Structure 1
Amino acid sequence: MSIQSPPTLLELAWSSLLSDKSRAILDLEDLPIELFPPLFVEAFSRGHTEVLKKMVQTWPFTCLPLGALMRQPQPEMLRVALDGLDMLLAQQECPRLPVLPARRGGEALAMLSPIWERLPDVEVFVAAVVTQQGGRWKPQVLDLRNVHGNFWRMWSGAVVVACSPEDMKKNQKLKHGPAMAAKLPLKVVIDLCLTERPMNEFQAHLFLWVTQRRDMVHLCCKRLKIFGKPTRHTRKVLRLLQLDSVQKVEVHCTWVPSTLAACAPFLGQMRNLRKLLVSQVRVPAHTSPEEQEWLLAQLTSQFLRMDSLWKFCVDAVLLLEGHLEHLKTPLEALSITNCPLSDSDWNYLSQCPNTSQLRHLDLRGIKLTNFSPEPLKIILETVAAILKSLDLEACEMTDSQLQAILPALSRCSQLRILCFFGNRISMSVLRDLLLHTARLSQLSRELYPAPLESYDAQGAIHPGRCSQLCAELTAILKDFRQPNILIFHTVSCPQCGRMFLYNQGLIYCSCPTAA
Structure 2
Amino acid sequence: MSIQSPPTLLELAGRSLLSNKSRAVLDLEDLPIELFPPLFVEAFSRGHTEVLKKMVQAWPFTRLPLGALMRKPQLEMIQVALDGLDMLLAQQDHPRLPMLPARRGGEALAMLIPIWERLPDVEVLVAAVVTHEGGSNCPCLSLYKRWKLQVLDLRDVPQNFWRMWSGAVFDACSPEDIKKNRTLKLGPAMAAKPPFKVFIDLSLRKRPLDEFLTHLFLWVRQRRDRLHLCCNRLKIFGKPTRHTRKVLRLLQLDSVQKVEVHCAWAPSTLAACAPFLGQMRNLRKLLVSQVYVPAYTSQEEQEQLLAQLTSQFLGMDCLRKFCANAVFLLEGHLEQVLRHLKTPLETLSITNCPLSDSDWNYLSRYPNARQLRHLELRGIKLTDFSLEPLQILLDSTATTLNSLDLEACGITDSQLQALLPALSRCSQLVIMSIHGNRLSMSTLRDLLLHTARLSQLSIELYPAPLESYDARGTIHPGRCSQLCAELTAIVRDFRQPNILVFSTVPCRRCGSKFMYNQGLIHCSCPTAA
On whether the aligned pair clears a TM of 0.5, the verdict is yes
Aligned match of 1:301: 311
Residue 365 of structure 1: how far off its partner (Å): 0.4
Corresponding position: 1:374 with 2:384: no
Quick one: structure 1 residues 4 and 323, their matched pair in 2 at CA, closer, same or farther if it must change by over 3 Å? Answer: closer
1:391–1:419: 8 Å Cα contact kept in structure 2?
Answer: yes
Aligned match of 1:240: 250
Quick one: structure 1 residues 103 and 140, their matched pair in 2 at CA, closer, same or farther if it must change by over 3 Å? Answer: closer
Give the alignment's Cα RMSD to 1 decimal. Answer: 3.3
Aligned match of 2:345: 331
Aligned match of 1:474: 488
CA–CA distance in structure 1, aligned partners of residues 421 and 7 of structure 2: 67
Quick one: structure 1 residues 73 and 180, their matched pair in 2 at CA, closer, same or farther if it must change by over 3 Å? Answer: farther
Residue 131 of structure 1: how far off its partner (Å): 4.7
Corresponding position: 1:77 with 2:77: yes
Aligned match of 1:13: 13
Count of aligned pairs: 487
Secondary structure, aligned partner of 2:364: helix
Aligned match of 1:88: 88
Q: 1:454 aligns with which of 468, 476, 487?
A: 468
- Deviation string 1:417-474 (CA, Å, 9 cap, x unpaired) is 0111011111111111010001001111111111111112221112222112111111
1:57–1:138: 8 Å Cα contact kept in structure 2?
Answer: no
Matches within 5 A, 1:381-400: 381-400=395-414
Residue 81 of structure 1: how far off its partner (Å): 1.2
Aligned match of 2:32: 32
CA–CA distance in structure 1, aligned partners of residues 158 and 426 of structure 2: 37
- Deviation string 1:334-387 (CA, Å, 9 cap, x unpaired) is 111111011111111110112111011011100001111100000000000111
CA–CA distance in structure 1, aligned partners of residues 205 and 191 of structure 2: 36
Quick one: structure 1 residues 480 and 13, their matched pair in 2 at CA, closer, same or farther if it must change by over 3 Å? Answer: closer
The percentage of aligned residue pairs carrying the same residue is 77
Quick one: structure 1 residues 370 and 94, their matched pair in 2 at CA, closer, same or farther if it must change by over 3 Å? Answer: farther
Residue 512 of structure 1: how far off its partner (Å): 3.2
CA–CA distance in structure 1, aligned partners of residues 184 and 258 of structure 2: 29
Q: Any stretches of 5+ residues in structure 2 without a counterpart?
A: 99-111, 126-142
Secondary structure, aligned partner of 2:378: coil
Quick one: structure 1 residues 479 and 291, their matched pair in 2 at CA, closer, same or farther if it must change by over 3 Å? Answer: same
Aligned match of 2:132: none
Residue type matched to 1:63 in 2? Answer: R
Residue type matched to 2:27 in 1? Answer: D
Residue type matched to 1:29 in 2? Answer: E
CA–CA distance in structure 1, aligned partners of residues 309 and 166 of structure 2: 50
Q: 2:234 aligns with which of 224, 245, 253?
A: 224
Aligned match of 2:261: 251
CA–CA distance in structure 2, aligned partners of residues 460 and 513 of structure 1: 9
Q: 1:432 aligns with which of 446, 452, 456?
A: 446
CA–CA distance in structure 2, aligned partners of residues 213 and 351 of structure 1: 49
1:94–1:137: 8 Å Cα contact kept in structure 2?
Answer: no
Residue 84 of structure 1: how far off its partner (Å): 1.3
Residue type matched to 1:355 in 2? Answer: A
Secondary structure, aligned partner of 1:253: strand
Aligned match of 1:140: 150
Aligned match of 2:45: 45
Secondary structure, aligned partner of 2:409: coil
Q: Whose radius of gyration is greater, 1 or 2? A: 2
Q: 2:320 aligns with which of 296, 306, 310?
A: 310
- Deviation string 1:389-421 (CA, Å, 9 cap, x unpaired) is 001000000111101110010010110001110
| TM-score, normalised by the number of residues in structure 2 | 0.84
Corresponding position: 1:421 with 2:435: yes
1:268–1:303: 8 Å Cα contact kept in structure 2?
Answer: yes
Aligned match of 1:348: 362
Residue type matched to 1:502 in 2? Answer: Y
2:260–2:288: 8 Å Cα contact kept in structure 1?
Answer: yes
Aligned match of 2:197: 187
Residue type matched to 2:349 in 1? Answer: S
2:430–2:457: 8 Å Cα contact kept in structure 1?
Answer: yes
Quick one: structure 1 residues 2 and 186, their matched pair in 2 at CA, closer, same or farther if it must change by over 3 Å? Answer: closer
- Flag the structure with higher strand content: 2
Quick one: structure 1 residues 369 and 220, their matched pair in 2 at CA, closer, same or farther if it must change by over 3 Å? Answer: same
Aligned match of 2:274: 264
2:116–2:122: 8 Å Cα contact kept in structure 1?
Answer: no
Residue 314 of structure 1: how far off its partner (Å): 1.1
